[in-house]
Amino acid sequence: MRQATRSLSDEADLIARYLIGKSPNDRVKRRYEDAMHTLHGDLDAVDRRLWKVVTCCPFTFRIIDSGLAVLRPASSIRRKVHVMLAVLEASPEYCEYFLPKAFGPLYSVNIVLTGARAVFVGIIGYAALKLMGIKGQ
């Protein structure tokens, strides 16, 4: 049980780093653990394989998530990330990452670049998953 909790806590840390670039506080980690215990996001064989890659090489997270977004949008890995996203959004410490605000023109350029990167990584992710023999849902 302790092992499972520690792994969920590590998972929370990994996903939050991927989403907002930093580790979440303990309260958010605990909430993520509660959510995952309640929602039962079990991984199937394909997701387990991909999750192993993500946990071993966290830098692949964006690529794999991008590929899954196109090929297997209902994947349990995406669900884990979605749950973490919801937990972060409903925490006052992290609401600044979600609430609308005024953005300057430079930020607009940044967003255009982010969009371009998202599309590019999407293509890479799609190709990577196809190379791994993963089929669409």
**Cβ distance 129 to 64 under 8 Å?**
yes
| CA 18 – CA 77 distance, rounded (Å) | 13
Interaction site with another protein (CB under 8 A): 18-20, 27, 31, 34-35, 38-39, 61-62, 65-66, 69-70, 73-74, 78-79, 81-83, 85-87, 89-92, 95, 97-105, 107-108, 111, 114-115, 117-118, 121-122, 125
Give me the least distance between CB of 49 and another protein, in Å please: 18
**Cβ distance 73 to 137 under 8 Å?**
yes
Give me the least distance between CB of 75 and another protein, in Å please: 10
Alpha carbons within 13 angstroms on the beta-carbon side of residue 57 total: 8
- For another protein, give the closer residue by CB, 9 or 18: 18
Distance of alpha carbon 72 from the chain centroid:
14
Give me the least distance between CB of 133 and another protein, in Å please: 21
| CA 96 – CA 109 distance, rounded (Å) | 20
- For another protein, give the closer residue by CB, 9 or 62: 62
Give me the least distance between CB of 132 and another protein, in Å please: 17
